Amino acid sequence: MASPRKFTAAAVPTREAVFDAAATLFSAKGFDGTSMDDIARRAGVNKAMIYYHFADKLTLYRSVVGEMLQHMTGTVTAIAAAEGPAPGKLDRFIDAFVRMTETRPWFPTLMLREISEGAPHLDLETLQRLRTVVLTFARILDEGHTAGVFRKVHPILAYLSVVGPLIFNAARERVAAQPGRQDQDLPMLVSIPHDDLIAHVQETARRMLAP
């Protein structure tokens, strides 16, 4: 049986560089539009180093998506399990989602592209993580309904109503960030502070769920 790989101090930064390069390129060009050569060039490494850390492009892609979903499931699960009323948990869920787009700005665009194509590159484990996020959101709604502070709504429709605008806004910010577009007077490119975005979506969600 092959012995497990041991990561040296030099190997770990190389893995991070490959991961970051892949995340950026997959978001911008999609799975099919990104080659391992593209990733190697952006990461500044030999292509052989990519295969040292990841078996193939699909494994790398699923690692990128899976890492984000693992982070998000951990965050929202902790929010749902914490003490306190459901409206406060909903507020923290929305805040966490927006903050996620700050640390991983590539993720919303990547997921929009993947879902629009029918999620052909996501395995069952990755889809289960996405399911956990939605079910945890539904748990918060159910707590609120039981407490009489939320009306009964379809959890999927509520999730799309809350998360959809956040994902679209993050994708819109990627458009606005393209070189030469900052000075163009177009509604699509208007800068919206994230604190304002969070407050707006929180208020919208409260109104939607009001009994």
pLDDT of residue 185: 62
Q: Phi and psi (nearest 5°) for 117?
A: -90, 0
Q: Is a pLDDT exceeding 80 seen at residue 60? A: yes
CA dist 172 → 7, 8, 40, 90, 108 (Å): 38, 39, 28, 24, 10
pLDDT of residue 179: 66
199, burial (CB in 10 Å: exposed 0-12, middle 13-18, buried 19+): middle
The Cα–Cα gap between 205 and 119 comes to 27
| pLDDT classification of 6: cutoffs 50, 70, 90 | very low
Give me the torsion for CA of 89, 170, 129, 33, rounded to 10°. Answer: 180
| pTM metric for this prediction | 0.84
Question: pLDDT for 9-47, tens place per residue?
Answer: 345 568 899 999 999 999 989 999 999 999 999 999 999
The Cα–Cα gap between 14 and 38 comes to 15
Q: Is a pLDDT exceeding 50 seen at residue 189? A: yes
The Cα–Cα gap between 208 and 168 comes to 19
pLDDT of residue 109: 87
Q: Is a pLDDT exceeding 70 seen at residue 5? A: no
CA dist 39 → 31, 97, 139, 196 (Å): 11, 27, 39, 35
